[in-house]
Chains A and B, each alone.
Chain A
Amino acid sequence: MRFVWIAALKELRCLRRDPFSVLTWMGIPLSIALLIHLIFGGGQAVPQGRLLVADEDNTIVSDMLTSAFGRDPLGKMLTVEKVDAPAGRARIDRGDGSAFLLIPKGLQDAFLRNQPFRIQLFSNPSQRILPKMVEETLLIMTDGAFYIQKVAAGELRPFDSGRSPSDDAIAQRSVDIRHLVTGLNKYLSPPLIELETTVVVEKQRNVTRPSFYFPSMIFMGLLLMAGGFASEAWKERTFHTLRRLAATPAPLASFLAGRLAAVALLYFAVAALGVATLRWLAPGEVSHPLAAVVWAALSGTAFFLLMLPVSMSASSQRAAQVLGNLVIFPLALVGGCFFPLEIAPAWMASIGRLTPNGWAVTQFKAILSGSLRPAHLAVAMGGLVAVGILAFLLALRSLRRGLLA
């Protein structure tokens, strides 16, 4: 047992003398996380555009039409700029603006007389989202106008006199429209049929949220460290220290346990740093930080133990590094460590969750979100420890075989 600590101390001393290897393993995922954060800014991306409007009618109806674009949520995405028709056409031809809406004179007149009328929308072909939104909004409004015409044409017609209506006339028409709506109510809302509508607000997946991508980055770092530590074990063969150790009374299991203790300690520090960073980036989105740290550290240690036999089966340290990368990078890619499983195709996500890292990162996210119940967490931890013990025995066997190579 004493040699476990001697071996652990030796490992930590060696790591202290060569800290750049650990920094490199952690640096790759941190750089990726930083880039994602910088590129997407960590917030909601809102498209911005400009709607050019030439209102030649300049009436209440045309005003109502154009003011719709100034209200939320369109108002946050579109800036409405009034222009004259030739200028608007010239600017949209140059690609200056998302769309150009031309309302010719006679819109209100035609609307009140229930006559056909044409308004024109010119969209910018280099943009896709905003012109389409303008078009859809206009379609909805013209549909709405059609139905208003169908049910209230009689009440609206007196306004079509070319003069501003009096207050009395407006009040009278309001009462008429109210009676009309009340009369239609029994058809619109039949008393025997009750419709209950529940609006389901879909939980938005925001790939730019740190709590979404950062756990994957943490686990990518843990995987890279596992590969690095495993190929470092090859140094013991390269420098013949493993063979020398085999000629001492110290058990090889104690040596491996010591190495494991040092690796686990380092994993604990890295996991704590990762979870603390996540708490800083996404306050309030880390439910059980201590459990998350323990889980990440245990997972990393198990990854190391699983990678050790892979590394020791190689014929040289260089081959061990190549072989390690051949295992780690596909695992990271499929198991949700390069990008979250939530945005992977369904078939890939289902395969990914079966990989050791995919399973571990899924549990890690559940711990962070607080959705993993203590009983399930205990079972998962037990599973991880069992895998760790099995991997320890495999790693020990591979070390013994490595002695003879």
Chain B
Amino acid sequence: MIEVERLRKSFVDLTAVDGVSFTARPGEIFGLLGPNGAGKTTTIGCISGLLTPTAGRVRVMGHDVVRDGRAARQALGVVPQEIALYEDLSALENLSYWGGAQGMRNPLLRDRIAKVLEITGLQDRAREPVKRFSGGMKRRLNLACGIVHQPRVLLLDEPTVGVDPQSRMRLLELIRAEARAGVCVLYTTHYMEEAETLCDRLAIVDHGKVIAAGDLAQLRSMLAERDLLRLSGVFHPAAARAALERIGAIEVLQADEGLLILSLAGASGKLPSIFAALAACGADVRGTTLTQPSLESLFIKLTGKELRE
């Protein structure tokens, strides 16, 4: 279990995490969703003991990460965003080293290495130097090094960045298996689809703050089943906003000279009237995207910007 209470982390000229609170339970995949620079990695750094919180409290399996850091770290498995491996060593040697760093000894370590090599599909390449591995294989080994010691809490910091779809599917399946085995998984990502398909509960963070939290159903209800309509072209923002508001039941989330983002129920049925209103005020619509209610549309609704910005 991970308990984060009013966590704050400030650097000299920046507050990266500002009052973040959440709880992740055993057997659950808890997602931290947010754009780059939102404070996800800093939050992971504070939980793993790499960074000392400026304020607030973090506990891992009941152990305070500042006061009882060693016990907290014994329960943790960390899979960093970057591939943190020794490229000159083989997969076997890497697993042996990271298992040793977690205090594991033979023969248990040997058995676990064999097991994780099997589940990550790397047993045939176990004795090869990692520098000969593909990107996907390195990602799998990166995960294997984080779970070799059977942690009760697993921190995964964007583990699928730059991975091909096939390897991504395999990684996600491995993570689900860990959760099914009772491991508490904290998963950070900026991929909406990944968060939607993988996570049981989510916290959406931006500028170091949690702006929404709950399970998928709770988060979707915040959108009230409204679609997201994105129109690109040439607009007079004030005139367009006025014209659209006259139609009624349309919420203008963003209006600038090149882009309009609207939130509305039953958007497909209202498209003709929207186009007519915009044409009447001199707008030139060149592209239209209609999105069903999703985490992405929620994020845009909450922050007024796209997640990948």
Contacts and interface: CB of A to CB of B under 8 A. Distances in A.
Interface string B45-77: 000111100000000000000000010011010
Contacts of A6: 97, 100-101
A250 B101 contact: yes
B215 to A, nearest CB: 28
Interface in B207-228: none
Interface string B77-95: 0101011111111000100
B135 interface: no
B272 interface: no
A240 B80 contact: yes
Given A10-B86, A239-B86, A247 B50 contact: yes
Contacts of A249: 70, 73-74, 101-103
A225 B275 CA distance: 72
B68 to A, nearest CB: 11
A253 B78 CA distance: 20
A178 interface: no
A2 B129 CA distance: 25
B84 A243 contact: yes
A138 to B, nearest CB: 72
A240 B84 contact: yes
Most B CB within 10 A of own CB, among A3, A10, A246, A403:
A10
B88 A14 contact: yes
Contacts of B101: 3, 6, 245, 248-250
A373 interface: no
Contacts of A7: 97
B84 A10 contact: no
Interface residues of B, number: 29
The DSSP consensus for interface residues of chain A is: helix
Contact of B87 (A3, A239, A250): A239
A17 to B, nearest CB: 4
Contacts of A3: 100-101
A241 to B, nearest CB: 5
Given A240-B80, A246-B48, A248-B73, 6 more contacts: A13-B93, A244-B78, A244-B145, A248-B102, A249-B102, A249-B103
A194 interface: no
Interface string A371-405: 00000000000000000000000000000000110
Interface string B141-156: 0000100000000010
Contacts of A247: 48-50, 73, 76, 78, 155
A18 interface: yes
Given A246-B50, A247-B49, A247-B73, A239 B85 contact: yes
B50 A248 contact: no
B89 A13 contact: yes
25 contacts: A2-B100, A3-B100, A3-B101, A13-B88, A14-B89, A17-B88, A17-B129, A239-B87, A240-B80, A240-B82, A240-B84, A241-B84, A243-B80, A244-B98, A244-B145, A246-B48, A247-B48, A247-B78, A248-B78, A248-B101, A248-B102, A249-B74, A249-B102, A249-B103, A404-B51
B113 to A, nearest CB: 14
A250 B104 CA distance: 11
Nearest to A241: B84
Interface string A1-38: 01100110010011001100000000000000000000
A321 B63 CA distance: 41
Contacts of B76: 247
Contacts of B78: 244, 247-248
Contacts of B93: 10, 13
Contacts of A10: 86, 89, 93, 97
A250 B101 CA distance: 5
A249 B155 CA distance: 15
A119 to B, nearest CB: 78
Interface in A150-168: none
Most B CB within 10 A of own CB, among A2, A7, A13:
A13
Most B CB within 10 A of own CB, among A6, A240, A248, A403:
A248
Nearest to A10: B97
A156 to B, nearest CB: 89
Nearest to A238: B82
B142 to A, nearest CB: 9
Given A2-B100, A6-B97, A247-B73, A241 B85 contact: yes
A246 B70 CA distance: 10
Contacts of B48: 246-247
B86 A241 contact: yes
Contacts of B49: 246-247
A73 B169 CA distance: 90
B83 A240 contact: yes
A243 B88 CA distance: 18
Nearest to B76: A247
Contacts of B88: 13-14, 17-18
B76 to A, nearest CB: 6
A271 to B, nearest CB: 25
A158 to B, nearest CB: 96
Contacts of A248: 73, 78, 98, 101-102
A153 B137 CA distance: 106
Interface string A230-263: 0000000001110111111110000000000000
A17 B78 CA distance: 27
B227 to A, nearest CB: 41
Given A6-B97, A249-B73, A403 B83 contact: no
A238 B50 CA distance: 16
A247 B86 CA distance: 16
Nearest to B131: A17
Most A CB within 10 A of own CB, among B51, B80, B84, B105:
B84
A143 to B, nearest CB: 76
Contacts of A241: 84-86
A249 B76 CA distance: 9
Most A CB within 10 A of own CB, among B74, B102, B129:
B102
A348 B78 CA distance: 53
Contacts of B80: 240, 243-244
Contacts of B97: 6-7, 10
A244 B70 contact: no
Most B CB within 10 A of own CB, among A13, A243, A247:
A247
